[in-house]
Structure 1
Amino acid sequence: MASLRRLWLLTLVLIVAAALAAGNASAAGYSMPPAFHATAWKLAYATFYGDETASETMGGACGYGNLFSNGYGTATAALSSVLFNNGYGCGQCFQLRCVNSKWCYKGSPITAVTATNLCPPNWAQDSNNGGWCNPPRVHFDMAKPAFMKIAQWKAGIVPVNYRRVPCVRKGGLRFAFQGNGYWLLVYVMNVGGGGDIASMWVKGSKMNGWVSMSHNWGASYQAFATLAGQALSFKLTSYTSHETVVAYNVAPANWRVGLTYSSSVNFH
C-alpha cells in the first residue's frame, strides 16, 4: 500500500510539473507542439535570376522589401507555384545541393536559401525547355550568388536535391505595417522554425478579443477593423509546425503605416 501511495504521489508531482511548464510556456507566448525537423531529400531543378549583386531579387512576391536590410541577404530563391503554395511557402527555408551534372562543384556543397519570391509559370515555353516553373514542376530560381555556391553559373539549369529545414533567425518576429487606421496590412518577416505563417490575429489594447486577419498575398495578412490609437498585439500560427506564438504590445498606440515593429518572440 505504501508503495502504491508513493507511486501515486510521484505521478501527481509529474502532472503538476508538466502543467506548470505548459503554463510558463503559455505565459511566454508559446504553444508547444512537436518541433519542426528537416525533411527527406527530394529531387528538383534550379536556375538563377539577376546578377552577382542580387539587386533584381529585391522586393518579390512575398513582400519582404529590401532583402539586405531585412536580414535575408542573397541566400534566397523564388519558388515554382507548386512550392510557393499561394504565398504560404514564403519564408520557408531549404537546403540545396547540385547533383548529376558536370557543372556541379566537387563535393556537392550544400547551400541554404529562404523563399522570398514566386517563379511564375511561362506557358509560352515547354515545361522541359524554358518553362521551368510551370506546374507541376518543383523548381528553385535562385539568386545568382546562392546558385554559384553549388554550381557554375554558365550551366543555366542543374538538377538539385533539396529539403526543408528549420529557419534559424536572430531576434524576434518583425511586422511591417501598411494600410490605414481602418485597414491594416501587415507583412511578417524574420520568421523562425517553419518560417511560414498559416493564420494571424490582431488585438488592440482597447479590445476584448482577437480579430482574425485574412491572408492577402505572400507573407501579408490584413484586418478590416478600427485599430488606430491602440497598442497592437499579434497571435500567429505556423503553416508547417502548427506552433502558435503571441507577440504582445508589438506596436505602440501611436503606430504608423510605413514602419516596421519588432517582437521579442519567434517560432522555434
Structure 2
Amino acid sequence: MPPEDAPREKASAGEIRIGDAEFRRFRDFFYRRTGIVFAESQRVYVERRLSDCILAAGSRGFADHFARLMVEPAEMERLISSFTVNETYFYREDYQLRCLTSSLLDRITARKRPGQPIRLWSVPCSTGEEPYSIAIWLLENWPEVDAWEIEIVGSDIDGRVLQAAEAGIYSERSLMRLPRPLVGKYFTAIGDGQYRIDAELRGSIRFSRVNLIDQGDTAKWRDIDVVFCRNVLIYFDEVSRRTAAGNLYDSMAPGGFICLGHTESMSRISPLFRVCRFEDAIVYQKPEENGHV
C-alpha cells in the first residue's frame, strides 16, 4: 500500500461519474448558494460543466471536488463562473436607457435636494458593459448630467467577471451596438480587435460582488434610485425570485425604479412594486413613503 501522504492521481475525463444522488446534492448546494435552480432536463448540461470544473481543478472526482468547494473560495468562484451566463454587449435593451433619461430621472430629481446623489445600480453587471453603457448614455443624452453627483455601481455574483469589468477591455462583438463615433470617443484600440474603455469612465464605476438572494450582500447598498436587474430572475425559482425582489426593494430609495429584462415581469414575482408604463418602457416602482408614485 502507498503511504498515507502519497499524492493521489487526478481524475481523467472517463473516470468522472456523477450519480443520481450526487446530481441532487450538487443541484441543491448550487441552489442554496446562488438561487439558481437546475431542472432534471438540464442534467446533461450540469454534468458536463461540473465534469469540466473537476478536471480543470485537478480534483480526484465529485466527492473530492465537492469537499474543496466548501473550503476553497477560489474553486467556488470558478464553479459559479462556469454556470452563469455572462454574454452581453453595450447598449443592450437601450429602450430602457431612453426611458431613464426621458422619464425616470425627471421624477427622481424632482424629489432630490441639492447635493443629494443619484444612485444607479446594475446587478448583475457581468463584465461591465451595462454600467459603462449607463455612464456613456448619460454623458451623451442627459443635459443635466454635470449638475448632479451620479453614483453608478456594478455588482455580480461572479468575481472573475468583476475583474474583467474593472479592466474595461472589450471585443468588437461587445461594441457591435455602440455607434462608431462613441467607440472612438470613449475607447482606445489596443490591438487584436480589443478596445479599452477610457480611464475616467473606468474610475467612475464602483464594482462589488453581490449575491441577490443574500440579504447581507444586498444590504450593503441603500437608497438606490434606479436598479437595472435584467435577465437573471428567469434563472431563479419562485422562492428565490421573491427573495431577490425583496432584497432589491429594501436597497431602493422610496420612489425608486427597477428595470427588468423584456421577458420578466415583477407583477408575477412580488406585490411590493407598482407597474409604471412610460413611452419607452415598462418599469416597476417602489412606492414613496407617503404612498404616492
TM bracket, shorter-chain basis = under 0.3
Q: Which has the higher helix share?
A: 2
Q: Which has the higher strand share?
A: 1
Higher relative contact order by CA 8 Å / sep ≥ 6: 1 or 2?
A: 1
> TM-score scaled by structure 2?
0.25
> TM-score scaled by structure 1?
0.27
